[in-house]
Structure 1
Amino acid sequence: MDYKEKYVVKKLVDLVKIPSPSGFTHRAIEYVRKELETLGFEPKLTKKGACYVCLGGEGNPVAFTAHVDTLGAMVKSLKSNGRLEITPIGGYMMNSVEGENCVVHTKDGREYTGTIQTIAPSVHVFENARTLERKPINMEVRIDEKVKTRDDLEKLGIEPGDFISFDPRIVVTEKGFIKSRHLDDKAGVAILLTVAKDLSEKKFSLNRKVYLFFSNYEEVGHGASSGIPQDVEELISVDMGAVGGTLSTNEFVVSICAKDSGGPYDARLVRNLVETAKKSDVNYSVDIYPFYGSDADASLRAGYDIVHGLLGPGVEASHGYERTHYDGLKNTIKLIEKYLKKIV
């Protein structure tokens, strides 16, 4: 099987290559908007820059949400040695980005490549290279320009508040594994685009009114806190299923979350998703993620009166160099479509 030719994988590859740390998501949102229009739908943008679309159907409206924004960083200050001090966007371990290639995006549209490293990057030079604590103050960006001073950086148009995106290093193997940064949650976005494509090709029909909502601030906690269509009764986040430890989720299944840091998800919805998975021969797991939050949580904190749920493909090494598998994507798509399929 040529996994690279699968629509969901092609969309995922495209998406992870689009820089979109929280606050810098306009390119990714525009990609989603154009793809939905190509499929024959009429997407709209919220004032906050999210994208949503109605796929059709009647009654008991449900929205599926995925987020285009990713982890990243921002220039905190220009250093006297010509390096850049950074401040993180989203929650990740500093050691997970050490040595990573990156791009600095200036406010006037210029882009400069660089590398994130510690302030003591060489064991041949620094006695504390191995023991230095990996925290933001000890990290810096070495840009690929002939710069040695703060003035040199200013001449390039770089200043505090410029966004920094990470090289995703996307790899699709012959056996269906997908290795990349930002599978959280570009995988969820690609999955929802695939659902829209299948519907446009009449591979299934809807048993209710359905919206797709693509948020742009999930990694900083307020993605779906506004802009959800007012008639939505049920909101399901399509985000990564965490893998590791005593959890049962793996990269080949769709994970159904029963509880995360925001508390339990709606028990009725969890039960309905599990029953759908069982009846449809979907490979699934049910897990609890105590160090996890979702757009569905954000919508409740914002005061939406909705039933909320969370599902998504298993993703290993979340918020690092992540990995999933085509089977996990496929099982997630299958569960969503079976949940929405009209029985005639």
Structure 2
Amino acid sequence: MINIDTDYLRSILFKMLQIPSPTGYTDEIVHFVGRELVKMGVPFELTRRGAIRATLKGEQPNLDRAIVTHLDTTGAMVRELKSNGRLGIVMIGHWSARFAEGARVTIYTDDNMYRGTIQPLKASGHVYNEEIDTQPVSWDNLEVRVDEKVYDKAGLEKLGFNIGDFVAVDTNPEITKSGFIKARHLDNKAGVACQLTAIKAIVEAGITLPVNCHPLFTITEEEGTGASSILTGNIAAMVAIDNSTVAPGQNSREDTVIIAMRDQGAIYDYHLTHRLIQICEDNDIPYVRDLFRHYRSDAASALSAGNDIRTALICFGLEASHGYERTHIDSLVSLTNLICAYLQTTPRIKHDKNKLGPLESFPMLQVRKRRALLKKKA
């Protein structure tokens, strides 16, 4: 395996965590990632809305690969200017109001930015007694307390607040001596950090990849569209890089790679998924398998848009996703190593060179396995 720059991995992650990027408000993070690619000498182009398609040139055409991460995060949007001088909000992306309570935020108006805090409607036990524990967990029971001398709707309007203003949640990042990284929006800033670090390692090692690779950075994954419109016709396989869900009933861990077998939106390609498993085993990269019942990735959105490509999903382990998230540096390093190792492998399925091809070139692995098992039983 080639060496990866773990200092860069940490530093680029913490820099990106300081850049707000709720879905729909991603211009700054797009410019930041674009500048990183320029520093590496990696060519790229942008879609109209700002998704990034970069290119690492390979030795042969027609079997292009893609690796994809998303730059957008969860957040909120102003839905109401309230008579008490506070802001009613709705979520961007899907996350619980339970994890919004107490969050410190920045509100972006048309011409300014203001600080504030997301509070439950009944925020003080000294006033509401036990009602602070019995009020429902709901976005309708939250409001943003703006850190300005404003006490009514007219005051909000005078400051320039409007319906549709974006609300970005502070990330509050921390890394512990034991290697745990805690922050909001590790989904998917940590995945982006792994992808950028892998690109940097390949470029600095002077490696020519066997086929063209297109690192993709999407901007609408949290709202469900993600990689639906950024692929080119030459891409035969795409590996999404995102978080897993560490929780009881799941097989994911915070300190390994997680290879997803399926999620809510897709059953991942048998051949590509098992190739990634084999790469982990050949290179002593710690991994586990898992599947996700309430989760969609960029790969799922690409398939839903009608793209005929092989897809897989590889993850860093993440506890409390879309909440107060935590991962471990070991998981990020292992994931970066897997990305680097995968990109250096030569595609095996010749059938994938063409959009349509004969039966003879289609893979036989599953058929052979079944025949061998039947023969063994007989």
Aligned to 2:106: 103
SS at match of 2:162: coil
Aligned to 2:56: 55
Contact 2:266 2:303 in 1 (8 A): no
Q: Considering only aligned residues, what root-mean-square deviation do their CA atoms show, in Å?
A: 1.3
Aligned partner of 1:305: which letter?
D
SS at match of 1:225: helix
1:190 matched to 2:198? The reply is: no
Deviation at 1:230, TM superposition (A): 2.4
1:304 matched to 2:310? The reply is: no
* 1:323-334 correspondence to structure 2 within 5 Å: 323-334=326-337
Matches of 1:280 and 1:309, distance apart in 2: 19
Matches of 2:266 and 2:105, distance apart in 1: 35
Q: Which moved more, 1:158-167 or 1:128-137?
A: 128-137
Cα distance change on mapping 1:5 and 1:279 into 2, 3 Å? closer
Matches of 1:208 and 1:321, distance apart in 2: 39
Q: TM-score, normalised by structure 1?
A: 0.96
Aligned to 1:114: 116
Aligned to 2:18: 17
Deviations 1:298-331 (A, max 9, x none): 0111111111110011011101010111100011
Aligned partner of 1:104: which letter?
I
Aligned to 2:36: 35
Aligned partner of 2:57: which letter?
G
Matches of 1:259 and 1:203, distance apart in 2: 35
Aligned partner of 2:23: which letter?
S
Contact 1:205 1:342 in 2 (8 A): no
Identical positions, percent: 40
Deviation at 1:342, TM superposition (A): 5.1
Deviation at 1:248, TM superposition (A): 2.1
Aligned partner of 1:18: which letter?
I
Aligned partner of 2:47: which letter?
T
* 1:267-286 correspondence to structure 2 within 5 Å: 267-286=270-289
Contact 2:238 2:309 in 1 (8 A): yes
Aligned to 1:176: 179
Q: TM-score, normalised by structure 2?
A: 0.88
Matches of 1:184 and 1:342, distance apart in 2: 27
Deviation at 1:126, TM superposition (A): 1.2
Q: Which moved more, 1:294-303 or 1:39-48?
A: 39-48
* 1:79-228 correspondence to structure 2 within 5 Å: 79-108=82-111, 110-127=112-129, 128-202=131-205, 204-228=207-231
SS at match of 2:230: coil
Q: Structure 2 residue aligned with 1:66, among 64, 69, 73?
A: 69
1:290 matched to 2:273? The reply is: no
Matches of 1:293 and 1:121, distance apart in 2: 34
Contact 1:241 1:254 in 2 (8 A): no
Where has structure 1 moved over 4 Å in runs of 4 or more?
A: none
Contact 1:101 1:116 in 2 (8 A): yes
Q: Which moved more, 1:273-282 or 1:5-14?
A: 5-14
Gaps of 5+ in 2: 347-378
Matches of 2:203 and 2:49, distance apart in 1: 27
Aligned partner of 1:116: which letter?
I
Deviation at 1:136, TM superposition (A): 1.0
Cα distance change on mapping 1:105 and 1:125 into 2, 3 Å? same
Contact 2:30 2:71 in 1 (8 A): yes
Matches of 2:276 and 2:164, distance apart in 1: 42
Aligned partner of 1:215: which letter?
T
Contact 2:104 2:118 in 1 (8 A): yes
1:253 matched to 2:238? The reply is: no
Matches of 2:312 and 2:319, distance apart in 1: 21
Matches of 2:301 and 2:314, distance apart in 1: 15
Please state which structure has a larger fraction of its residues in helix: 2
Matches of 1:176 and 1:7, distance apart in 2: 15
Matches of 2:210 and 2:248, distance apart in 1: 38
Contact 1:204 1:337 in 2 (8 A): no
Deviation at 1:246, TM superposition (A): 2.4
Over alpha carbons, which structure has the higher Rg?
A: 2
Matches of 1:6 and 1:243, distance apart in 2: 25
Aligned to 2:46: 45
Deviations 1:192-222 (A, max 9, x none): 1101111110164412210100000000000
SS at match of 2:195: helix
